Amino acid sequence: MKFKIYLLVVMISLIPKVILAAPYVIPVTELDFTDFLPITGSCEMDIAGVVTDLPGSQMCIGSDSATIAHYRIIALPNTNFSIQVKTRNPENGDGLTFSPIGKITSDIDDITIVPGQAHIANSGTLGKIDIKFGGQIIISNAFNASMSHKIEMEAAITWSEVP
């Protein structure tokens, strides 16, 4: 069974300084836990992309092909942004909980993501902010073993320029 999470990035109250220099986000890689057993359990992907079962679980199959989520905000240099990476709680009885583990970095900031908390990060002298994360996944309802599952998280990352 394969499991991918596709994140929808949302801009909130973004007021560009110059229309041609409006900040934007680039999805570099999507979060992909790859294969796991169709049973209940939990596992974690660290910031390096290493997937391990959490104590008491045997759900995840360690894989070298797992990938962390990586998004990049491109903006004018030395611009502050409020960035929030949210958790996902079970929806419509799917039993899936996801909590991000990662970093928000630029050439001047190195911020550990606290799920659901807004962080202020500066685009630095290079004008870019990287948002990288794996996370903990908990599945409380078994999935169909013969299917590949794609879970979307609407507004999983929100960001806005801080005036």
- State the SS3 of the chain: CEEEEEEEEEECCCCCCCHHHCCEEEEEECEEEEEECCCCEEEEECCCCCEEECCCCCCECCCCCCECEEEEEECCCCCEEEEEECCECCCCCCCEEEEEEEEEECCCCEEECCCCCEEEEECCCCCEEEEEEEEEEEECCCCCCCCCEEEEEEEEEEEEECC
99: domain range?
A: 2-161
In tens, the pLDDT along 69-86 reads 999 999 999 999 999 999
Across the range 83-109, mean pLDDT stands at 91
In tens, the pLDDT along 103-117 reads 999 999 999 999 999
* Least trusted range by pLDDT, from 3-7, 59-63, 147-151: 3-7
**Domain count along the chain:** 1
pTM value is 0.80
